[in-house]
Amino acid sequence: MKHNWILLLLGCALGACNTGNVDFGYSPTNPRAGESINFTNLSTSGEEWEWSFGDATTSAVKNPTKIYKQAGTYTVTLKVDNKTNRTKTRSITVLDTVPDFICSIKDADSLGINIFDDVTFIAQVYNPYNYKVDYEWHIGSNRLYKPLSPANEQNFKLYFEQASSDAEEVHLAVTLNGLRREVKHSYKINNVLAPSILMMTADSVYWRQRIFGNRADFVYRLTPEDVEGKALLDATQDTLQIYNEREFRLNELQAIIPNMKGFSIAALKIYYRTDEGLFVANIDGAHQEPVYRGQVLAQCTDPIHNRIYWSVPDSVYFMPLIGSDNNKFTTIPTPLNNREKVVKLTIDPTKR
């Protein structure tokens, strides 16, 4: 009997009874298809590891990382030191992948999106088998925005025209292999201070329109309290201008260009209107070139933002200041608004 106990103790010493603890965990606890899963080996001993993930893939790494391409329940087995009595098996349920999207503007989730800034929402869809994918984007409220790309593509580009104190919901619906999923994120739409163009129409009504690069806000009627805006307009005429500490008057410039009705000077160029339209010339009157053919009611220049603005009977236009020596240009005038009969124009550089 004593001899049998000795043999038993010897067998345990050689490892027959020394199985140790074999275990493992994984995170996240509710993984989805296409998501990286980290397996953590919790075994108390061992030098060789054999993982089987239940989808015909294996690993010999102690703490492997795994991505399942399809949802389902998988049987995961860890074998330590190639011993059948040192194994651990767990079932892992992999959920359907859920589409998501990100915003091209950094920290938009916390800081929001500024009006008139380009923003692109980028769909993230796990599609390892290249199934057909349909995208549907829409904005939750009726707040005005301008799409810059189709709303049925993976990436949706736009800009917002109205600020909001409430969060704006952006929705994405994705149909993948016949299965439709929806996701949404909320963003605050921030107002931004900007310079303005001031206008007065023939009925003596005053207007303001904020300028954001090549885009512009809506046209707002000046309030009775906006005394400064009215003063800027009333003090500005295209018949008198001080440029480089020199005073220029319409009647003096008419000696060089007899048919001039009004003018503005910027960057060594003189922009002037006649009965035929808007023209540009060097400040000495040389190299006269047409900018716009047709009736021009008023004009002003904005040297800070390098622009010339002018009004026609049914709208206001702008374009970059002309920089060539011979005043030739290739840019096309851009409509700013469709305000009719604007007879005065000026720039308010103060951001509001």
pLDDT tens string 246-283: 899 999 999 989 999 999 999 999 999 999 999 999 98
Question: Which one of 10-14, 34-38, 154-158, 285-289 scores highest in mean pLDDT?
Answer: 154-158
Distance of alpha carbon 254 from alpha carbon 181, whole angstroms: 69
Task: Report CA dihedral (110, 111, 113, 115) to the nearest 10 degrees.
Answer: 150
Residues 6 or more apart whose CB falls under 8 angstroms from that of 246 comprise none
Q: What is the pTM of this model?
A: 0.76
Where residue 96 falls among pLDDT bands split at 50, 70, 90? confident
Please give the domain boundaries of the chain with CATH numbers for all domains: 20-94 (2.60.40.10), 100-190 (2.60.40.1080), 196-348 (no CATH)
pLDDT of residue 191: 95
Containing 50, the helix (H) or strand (E) segment is strand 49-52
User: Coil, strand or helix: which one is 245?
Assistant: coil
pLDDT in tens, 291-333: 999 999 999 999 888 999 999 999 999 999 999 999 999 999 9
Average pLDDT, the chain: 91
Where residue 7 falls among pLDDT bands split at 50, 70, 90? very low
What six digits make up the tokens of 2? 């004593």
pLDDT in tens, 203-253: 999 999 999 988 999 999 999 899 999 999 998 888 888 888 889 999 999
* Strand partners for 221: 207
Residue 142 scores a pLDDT above 80: no
pLDDT of residue 228: 93
Where residue 19 falls among pLDDT bands split at 50, 70, 90? low
DSSP 228: H
User: Coil, strand or helix: which one is 192?
Assistant: coil
